[in-house]
């Protein structure tokens, strides 16, 4: 077959055959990939099967020169039915369709693709998107551990529940982004802009937020144990019931910062500016060097 559309038609044809007809059909076909797709018809989820037969999806893939007939094989194998209701798209599949190119070409197309496949868990560990414009991208629940997102524009991005452990987001623009429940343990956020971001309940253990702009950022119930907030701008930030145990706030600006019921045990308040609560209260909650 000469192109993807022809291959798609054959797949559609096969899907309508009975089991016996499929066996006979296989015997008469010379295309090994098509034969293999019939053999493993039930090896991939219905979500992926429907996606493969979606004309708009194929048009997007072919128009952007992302997928050829030879690349179809990973689709069959990528969503093995250990959990048919929410299969996992493996990194092998994503590398084949060149997810990086999709993100670079069109955020709206990527978001539509995510919606189409039911917001499955995506494995994007170690992906490189340095300096890319990812405004309002939907990466909720995605595994971005050890990803290179230095200087990326993630303004308004949906990163709820995303795994960003060990990722590099230094100098990234995360203004008004959504990171509730995200995992940012040991993440490099040096100089990142989080103005107005939502980090409620996020895990920021040992995260480097040195010189970051955290103006009006919501850290309600977030865990910032051992986080480095040296010289950070915390103007109007909300740390209600947040855990700042052993965090380093050396030289940070806490003007109008809410610290209601925050755990400050061992937190370094040396040379902080504009403390919004009485010093005696900060000491009572465990702050040191104040």
pLDDT at 10: 53
Dihedral in degrees, nearest 10, Cα atoms 137, 51, 101, 181: 30
SS3 76: helix
Give the up-direction half-sphere exposure of residue 163: CA atoms within 13 A in the CB hemisphere. Answer: 12
pLDDT at 99: 67
Query: For residue 98, how far is the Cα from the chain centroid?
Result: 16
pLDDT at 274: 94
Alpha-carbon separation of residue 212 from 119, 217, 249, 260, 284 (angstroms) = 30, 11, 12, 22, 27
Q: Whole-number mean pLDDT of the chain?
A: 76
Q: State what percent of residues in the chain have pLDDT above 70.
A: 63
Interval 152-174: pLDDT, tens: 999 999 999 899 999 999 999 99
Query: For residue 261, how far is the Cα from the chain centroid?
Result: 30
Interval 92-101: pLDDT, tens: 444 434 666 7
Provide long-range contacts, Cβ within 8 A and 24+ apart, for 99-102.
99/124, 99/127, 100/127, 100/128, 100/129, 101/64, 101/66, 102/64, 102/66
Place of tokens 């077959």: 1
Q: Where residue 143 falls among pLDDT bands split at 50, 70, 90?
A: confident
Task: Identify the weakest region by mean pLDDT among 4-13, 38-47, 94-103, 228-237.
Answer: 38-47
- Domains in the chain, please, with CATH? 1-120 (no CATH), 124-290 (2.160.20.80)
Question: Does the pLDDT value for residue 32 go beyond 70?
Answer: no
Task: Give the phi and the psi of residue 275 in degrees, each rounded to 5.
Answer: -60, 130
Q: Where residue 89 falls among pLDDT bands split at 50, 70, 90?
A: very low
Q: Where residue 21 falls among pLDDT bands split at 50, 70, 90?
A: low
For residues 10 and 225, give the distance between their C-alpha atoms in angstroms, rounded to a whole number.
56
Given a contact cutoff of 8 angstroms between Cβ atoms, the answer to whether 213 and 195 are in contact is: yes
What is the CB neighbour count within 10 angstroms for residue 40? Answer: 12
pLDDT greater at residue 208 or residue 8: 208
Q: Where residue 80 falls among pLDDT bands split at 50, 70, 90?
A: very low
pLDDT at 119: 66
Q: Where residue 6 falls among pLDDT bands split at 50, 70, 90?
A: low
What is the maximum span of the chain, computed from C-alpha positions, in angstroms?
84
User: Among residues 236, 143, 160, 224, which one has the least CA distance to residue 189?
Assistant: 224
């Amino acid at each position: 077959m000469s192109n993807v559309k022809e291959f798609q038609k054959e797949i559609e044809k096969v899907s309508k055959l009975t089991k016996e007809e499929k066996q006979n059909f296989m015997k008469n076909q010379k295309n090994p990939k098509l034969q293999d797709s019939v053999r493993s018809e039930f090896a991939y989820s219905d979500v992926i099967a429907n996606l493969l037969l979606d004309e708009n999806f194929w048009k997007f893939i072919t128009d952007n020169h992302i997928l050829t007939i030879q690349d179809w094989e990973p689709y069959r194998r990528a969503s093995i039915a250990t959990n048919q209701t929410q299969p996992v798209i493996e990194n092998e599949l994503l590398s084949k369709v060149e997810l990086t190119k999709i993100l670079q070409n069109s955020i709206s197309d990527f978001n539509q693709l995510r919606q189409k496949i039911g917001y499955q868990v995506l494995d994007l560990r170690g992906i490189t998107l340095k300096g890319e414009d990812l405004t309002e991208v939907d990466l909720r629940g995605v595994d971005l551990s050890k990803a290179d997102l230095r200087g990326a524009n993630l303004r308004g991005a949906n990163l709820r529940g995303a795994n960003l452990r060990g990722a590099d987001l230094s100098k990234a623009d995360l203004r008004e982004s959504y990171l509730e429940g995200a995992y940012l343990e040991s993440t490099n956020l040096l100089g990142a802009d989080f103005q107005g971001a939502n980090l409620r309940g996020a895990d920021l253990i040992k995260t480097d937020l040195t010189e970051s702009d955290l103006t009006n950022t919501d850290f309600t119930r977030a865990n910032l144990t051992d986080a480095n907030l040296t010289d950070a701008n915390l103007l109007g930030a909300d740390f209600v019931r947040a855990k700042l145990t052993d965090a380093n706030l050396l030289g940070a600006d806490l003007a109008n910062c809410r610290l209601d019921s925050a755990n400050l045990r061992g937190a370094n308040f040396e040379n902080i500016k504009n403390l919004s609560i009485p010093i005696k209260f900060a000491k009572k909650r465990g702050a040191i060097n104040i």
